[in-house]
Amino acid sequence: MRIMPETVEKYREYYFDTVKKLLLTPSPSGYYREVMKVVKELAEAEGCVFYLTRKGCGVITVPGRDRERAVGACAHCDTLGAMVRSVDSAGGINFTTVGGPSLPSLDGEYCTVITRDGRKYGGTFLSKSPAVHVYRDSGTRARDCDNMYVRLDETVKSADDVKALGIENGDYICFDPKTTVTESGFLKSRFIDDKASVACLLTAVHIMHDSGFVPETDIVMLVTMYEEVGHGASYLPRDIESMLGVDMGCIGDDLQCTEYDVSICAKDSRGPYDYEMTSALV
């Protein structure tokens, strides 16, 4: 099935609706239940079989004419995030990162702390020298885990006040995605890596279902939840002849393509990808 430009335009609204649902659902690596509920509802609405692995990754099967064979595609729905490390005597939250976020970019960013029983509290990432009016080093102090904290949007003056809210060490801290779709059609958000790709796969499923297209073989789509910490699609649920990974592809300064093209990765820092598949794609 070839996707033509007019098809892309026809399903543009579905895509943006889907990607916004994903982006607005918190899902730092390992925190999968909320976002997988969204993925499950979207997949099952298209007549697909969906199940969760024990690891919390979603598996979507699009039935094909030959049910004995399968090809695969994968994208990750986990994002960068943080976790409560400790609470200081004044009620500030010290944190540790989940994945590798650029901490200077988080200074002043809003966030949500999620407790084990599902309560959510707003907060802000701040430098420990936040105000230029007070701290001479406010502009020069390092922005790292030792020199930043989370200030809760609650009246707390001690560690006990924070504990009374149900917040404990190990609770997830989720960054505000700041999701916006501009009038000119651009999507601006944190976590386009890689929820935009998951939305692409779900939109492809929607197009196939809407048009009545049945693929030659089963298509198994794996939506992983641990890519940002290094072990996303480390397991495949069944014999799959080939696997296409869809992810954010940064464009290097000296490469041929632009941000308006699909970036086909011949290799990454760890080595080359399958030669036959990349040859077919380019």
Check 109, 154, 227, 228 and give the catalytic one: 227
Q: Which residue has the higher pLDDT, 268 or 190?
A: 190
Nearest-angstrom CA–CA distance, 58 and 191? 18
* Predicted pLDDT at 73: 97
CATH code of 116's domain: 2.40.30.40
Residue 125 predicted with pLDDT over 80 = yes
Identify the band that residue 51 occupies on the pLDDT scale cut at 50, 70 and 90. Answer: very high
**Is 205 found in the same domain as 164?**
no
**Is 170 found in the same domain as 86?**
yes
**Is 89 found in the same domain as 74?**
no
Domain final position from 175, 209, 237: 175
What is the rounded average pLDDT of the residues 161-169?
A: 99
**Is 195 found in the same domain as 63?**
yes
Domain final position from 117, 148, 175: 175
**Is 202 found in the same domain as 162?**
no
Identify the band that residue 236 occupies on the pLDDT scale cut at 50, 70 and 90. Answer: confident
The answer to whether residue 97 is domain-embedded is yes
* Predicted pLDDT at 261: 87
- pLDDT for 178-202, tens place per residue? 999 999 999 999 999 999 999 999 9
Domain residues for the domain of 130 are 81-175
- pLDDT for 133-159, tens place per residue? 999 999 999 999 999 999 999 999 999
Residue 5 predicted with pLDDT over 80 = no
The answer to whether residue 125 is domain-embedded is yes
The answer to whether residue 170 is domain-embedded is yes
Q: Which of 169-183, 218-232, 240-254 shows the lowest per-residue confidence on average (mean pLDDT)?
A: 240-254
What is the rounded average pLDDT of the residues 231-247?
A: 88
In the chain, the percentage of residues whose pLDDT exceeds 70 is 100
The answer to whether residue 52 is domain-embedded is yes
**Full-model pTM:** 0.95
The answer to whether residue 183 is domain-embedded is no
* Predicted pLDDT at 96: 99
Domain final position from 144, 175, 206: 175
Residue 4 predicted with pLDDT over 80 = no
Mean pLDDT, rounded, of the chain: 95
Q: Are 199 and 18 in contact (CB under 8 A)?
A: yes
**Is 91 found in the same domain as 215?**
no
CATH code of 221's domain: 3.40.630.10
Nearest-angstrom CA–CA distance, 201 and 248? 13
**Is 90 found in the same domain as 154?**
yes
Nearest-angstrom CA–CA distance, 62 and 213? 10
| Phi, psi (deg, nearest 5) at residue 254 | -105, 15
Q: Which of 28-37, 57-66, 242-251 shows the lowest per-residue confidence on average (mean pLDDT)?
A: 242-251
Domain count, the chain: 2
**Is 66 found in the same domain as 151?**
no
**Is 68 found in the same domain as 16?**
yes
Closest C-alpha among 177, 195, 186 to residue 38? 195
Q: What is the DSSP string of 135-179?
A: -TTTTTS--STTTEEEEESS---SHHHHHHTT--TT-EEEE----
Residue 216 among the catalytic residues: no
Residue 13 predicted with pLDDT over 80 = yes
Residue 121 predicted with pLDDT over 90 = yes
Residue 235 predicted with pLDDT over 90 = no
**Is 158 found in the same domain as 87?**
yes
